[in-house]
A = this chain, B = another copy of it.
């Protein structure tokens, strides 16, 4: 496969669909040859890549979900030899095994070019100074923004998350023109800006690129007003190049799905049938050029709907409304997806007794947190404060290790959980 010129945009829907079909066929052949999971799927369903003559033929295949990826742990979904995989990320799913995301050098290049294309569309260029406040680590987001900005020839300050007062100093003194953040961390930065009496006029901020969490129109307004800068939403997932699957353009009206790299379906989460345009469903993605871990009909779990393209920017790509949340029970906190089933497994691994519990997200913006309520039975050291305290502290640390988010752990009367 030649290096994808991700900056070249298809001129019409026809051009786009022809490109998608060619790339889909290449992907189908590649996974048939290299990925046992898909080879079996094709055999079981009598699906022959050579007879895939149109994009809709893909609907004959079942969906791929996170469980499939977990069961392939660590490397069974890889379509290239490990030697060609240059970067490996993982995310926590609903299973004990994490989901493994592999990238070849060409995958990284494509992700960076796609990010650079989105950034260029927003008017960003080599003169910009990017401050990236996402965590560089097992998730892909920070790296994708970083490499995209580098492709532009812009300056990158990789601050990662935390040390917020210092981040404000850097924003001001280093002339940050584009801030990259989750919406909740952007709100925290804004609060710190106010606490430190730094006026947005003292900054050179042009825009914020936000990602990782659904957010409301109210949050957008608060951020735009507070920072006196434009907010652009970038949507994506680690399984598919990070936050480059769909993005707002300068008009800020809709999310444009980057369909030359992803074939997108919006399906009823129960029946798996397409929903009409304008109706809510689950976003299901097929990667069209991904090398290390190509995905066919992958369930994102994210609730979306196609909307009429009122944007006028001239993009031929499908327009989505803002992400409305999840179609499953997965909780999203600070940009991290957490499946309650996984919390249950961790609790039963860690505790040597059964326990009633529930998990919720409380607060919004920077105060958002994962609250885990544990029902403590009367006969279970309910009067031993010190032991309780230790249980709570140890458990919080243990869960943070595996979930990537530190929950607040509360001990409650079991009855209060019903």
Mark A residues whose CB is within 8 Å of B: 73-74, 82-83, 85-90, 100, 102, 105, 126-127, 129, 135-138, 142-143, 150, 153-160, 163-166, 170, 173-175, 400-402, 404
Contacts A136-B137, A142-B136, A174-B74: A82 and B155 contacting too (C-beta < 8 A)?
yes
Residues of B within 8 A of A402 (CB): 163, 165-166
Q: Is the CB of A173 within 8 A of B74?
A: yes
Total copies of the chain: 2
Write out the residue numbers on chain B whose beta carbons fall within 8 Å of the beta carbon of A400: 163
Determine whether the beta carbon of B404 is less than 8 Å from that of A163.
yes
Question: Is the CB–CB distance between B90 and A150 below 8 Å?
Answer: no
A164 / chain B contacts, CB cutoff of 8 Å = 401
Flag if B83 contacts A126 (CB, 8 Å): yes
Q: Are B155 and A88 within 8 A (Cβ)?
A: yes
- B87 touching A158 by the CB < 8 A rule? yes
Q: CB within 8 A of A143: which of B74, B85, B158?
A: B158
Task: Give CA–CA (A173, B163) in the complex, Å.
Answer: 33
Identify 6 new A-B residue pairs, CB closer than 8 A, beyond the known A87-B155, A88-B157, A136-B136: A83-B155, A85-B155, A86-B150, A87-B150, A88-B174, A165-B402
Residue of B nearest to A85 (CB): B155
Please measure, in the bound complex, the distance between the C-alpha atom of A160 and the C-alpha atom of B140, giving whole angstroms.
12
A109 CB, min distance to chain B CBs, angstroms: 11
> What are some 17 contacts across the A-B interface (CB < 8 A)?
A82-B129, A83-B153, A83-B155, A86-B150, A87-B150, A88-B129, A88-B156, A88-B157, A90-B170, A102-B155, A137-B160, A138-B158, A143-B158, A163-B401, A164-B401, A165-B401, A166-B402
Q: Among the interface residues A87, A105, A156, A165, which one has the most CB atoms of the partner chain B within 10 A?
A: A87
Q: Which residues of B contact A174 (CB under 8 A)?
A: 74, 88, 100
A160 CA to B89 CA, complexed, in Å:
11
* Interface of A (DSSP majority class): mixed
Which residue of chain B has the shortest Cβ distance to A401 in the bound complex? B163
Of B88, B126, B401, the contact of A166 (CB 8 Å cutoff): B401
Output the least CB separation between A127 and chain B (Å).
Answer: 6
Decide yes or no: A153 and B90 within 8 Å by CB, A137-B158, A158-B138, A164-B401 being known contacts: no
Q: Which chain B residues lie closer than 8 Å to A136 at the CB level?
A: 136-137, 142, 158, 160
Contact in complex: B173, A86 (CB < 8 Å): no
Cα–Cα, bound, A298→B160 (Å): 28
Task: Give A175 to B75 CA distance when docked, in angstroms.
Answer: 10
Nearest CB of B to A215, in Å: 25
Bound: A294/B82 CA distance, A: 39
Q: In the assembly, what is the distance between CA of A324 and CA of B4, in Å?
A: 50
Closest-by-CB residue of B relative to A164 is B401
Q: Closest CB-CB distance, A347 to chain B, in whole Å?
A: 16
Query: Given contacts A74-B174, A143-B158, are A153 and B404 in contact (CB under 8 A)?
Result: no
Of all chain B residues, the one with the shortest Cβ separation from A126 is: B83
Top 5 A-B pairs, shortest CB-CB distance = A136-B136, A137-B160, A88-B157, A163-B401, A74-B173
Is B89 within 8 A of A158, CB to CB? yes
Query: Which residues of chain B come closer than 8 Å to A82, judged between CB atoms?
Result: 129, 155, 175
Question: In the complex the two chains form, what is the Cα distance from A29 to B365 in whole Å?
Answer: 51
Interface centre among A150, A154, A173 (most CB of B within 10 A): A173
Residues of B within 8 A of A102 (CB): 155
**A156–B87 contact, CB under 8 A?**
yes
Q: A137-B136, A142-B136 are in contact. Are A86 and B163 (CB under 8 A)?
A: no
Give every chain B residue within 8 A of A175 (Cβ-Cβ): 82
Q: A262 to chain B: closest CB distance in Å?
A: 24
A73 to B153: give the CA distance in the assembly, Å: 23
Chain B residues with CB under 8 A of A160: 135-138
Question: Which residue on chain B has the smallest CB distance to residue A163?
Answer: B401
CB within 8 Å for A153 and B105 given contacts A74-B173, A160-B135: yes
